[in-house]
Amino acid sequence: MDTKGILDIIQHNGENQAGLIAILEEIQAEYSYLPEEALRLVAKETGRSLADVYGVATFYKAFSLKPKGRHCISVCLGTACHVRGAQKIVEEFSQELGIKPGETTSDNEVTLETVNCLGACALGPTVVADGHYFPHVSRNKVSDIVDAARNGLETLDGKTDGRVFPLQVSCPVCRQSLMDPDHHIDGHPSVTLDASFNGRKDRVHLSSLYGSRAPASGNGVPHNSVTRLHCPHCQSEIPSFSDCLECGSPMAALYIREGCTWEVCTRRGCQGHMLNLNQIDLLKNDEGK
């Protein structure tokens, strides 16, 4: 467990009573559950008794004290869904996954849970897998939902979603393509870069889909650290012209064509990126230096 990360979360939430739920929410978002050591640390740092913190953590259903799987399937058991046979859907999911509601499969992939109402009663029986709603679920759709969840519902489809489109980028210095046709993210060739951090170097892959929230691959760089990005061909550093609108870290400008760059945040974990169509001519700028 990352003690420092939790201390950071506690600190920037302030140390008042009202902040407890916010702190626990952030820890849960980070670890997908509330580790025991984290709760002890929160109690110690905020000056509350562990019994208080534990009481809050067990009171709210949104908090989990057990690790959750990578994918979460929630079956609605609200009144409207219930009368349309949601209980049968839960049983089907239990059978399909071999776990009871509230449990996680042994490979830590899928967590099955029941919720009391999703507010989508007209769509009942409703199932939510990783934030995607499946309306009017019948028993024979269950295995399809499980397969879809296991294969990842986070992937974006550039063909059907107009807000998402693939980009072809190259190094702003040497103009060689940064696309890696052998490494696909979101079903498209990924953008490959060298990231350096504290003297270490690591190859990272970014999704080339504009609008994608898929995290960059490459495990050598710690979460939340700002990296320097280099071209894997000419090894020059990707220049930065602006700061990320989401977190304020410098953004690396990847070349698309004359006067047009795709800027991505250099902080690992930050999804900030934007298209800059008014960029000054990078080549001239570089020559001027």
Q: Name the site residues for another protein (rule: CB under 8 A).
A: 36, 39, 48-55, 58-59
Query: How many Å apart are CA 255 and CA 236, to the nearest integer?
Result: 13
Classify residue 85 by its DSSP letter. T
Residue 85 CB, nearest approach to another protein (Å): 24
Task: Using the minimum distance from each CB to another protein, give the nearer residue, 54 or 134.
Answer: 54
Task: Using the minimum distance from each CB to another protein, give the nearer residue, 27 or 282.
Answer: 27
Task: Using the minimum distance from each CB to another protein, give the nearer residue, 50 or 83.
Answer: 50
In whole angstroms, how large is the CA radius of gyration of the chain? 23
Q: Which residues contact 218 (CB under 8 A, 6 or more apart)?
A: 195, 202, 203, 204, 205
Classify residue 219 by its DSSP letter. S
Task: Using the minimum distance from each CB to another protein, give the nearer residue, 2 or 36.
Answer: 36
Query: How many Å apart are CA 270 and CA 225, to the nearest integer?
Result: 10
Q: Long-range contact list for 235-239, CB < 8 A, 24+ apart? A: 235/194, 236/171, 236/173, 236/174, 238/171, 238/172, 238/173, 238/193, 239/172, 239/173, 239/282, 239/285, 239/286
Residue 59 CB, nearest approach to another protein (Å): 5
Residue 28 CB, nearest approach to another protein (Å): 17
Q: Which residues contact 151 (CB under 8 A, 6 or more apart)?
A: none
Residue 103 CB, nearest approach to another protein (Å): 16
Task: Using the minimum distance from each CB to another protein, give the nearer residue, 58 or 235.
Answer: 58
Residue 65 CB, nearest approach to another protein (Å): 8
